[in-house]
Amino acid sequence: MQGSFGAVTPLELLWNGWRAQYVTTAGAAAVPGQSVFTRILASGLPDTETHIVHRGEHVFVILNAFPYTVGHLMVLPYRQVGDLALLTGEETAELWSTVTTTTGVLRDVMRCEGLNVGLNLGPVAGGSISEHLHVHVVPRWLGDANFMTTTANTRTLPEALPDTAAKIRTAWPTAEPHS
């Protein structure tokens, strides 16, 4: 078979249809100076459509629309800032308190064996949306790195985002401590 990928066999091509939305909408509807998160918050859409699973006073939690693995959440301030030093004391306290809660919720809901928690500050650090800092909280399981990501740049997600979001919303504690 000859195509735009050169000479390949049918087994070398894997369909990864969910990525089409990401590729075709990257940069679409961009508003100068507004992150995708700011646009989501201003959209007026219900949380069930935007995959926001928790709203606090200063921060919110949203499912990553293009996750590394099922249950990949992001915790971020409502206010669009690109660096930790720009957060207020209240935002900082609630951000880290909510990250802690998020790790517990993911352990309960996803039955994961571990978690990756981190930030990419600035474009050179891998921050694809560097103008609006966000803390990634990614569930991990023993043996979850498989050949699909390594050889085919493909991720397998065994559950639809709305289903995951509903489980997380249900498990979210109703009373959270705020500093």
Q: Which residues are catalytic?
A: 134
Contacts of 159 (CB under 8 A, 6+ apart): 70
Q: Residue 173 corresponds to which tokens in the numbers above?
A: 């504690």
Task: Count the residues in the chain.
Answer: 179
d(CA 73, CA 68): 10
d(CA 105, CA 81): 26
CA 34 to each of CA 37, 78, 112, 140: distance values in angstroms, whole numbers, following the listed order: 8, 12, 34, 31
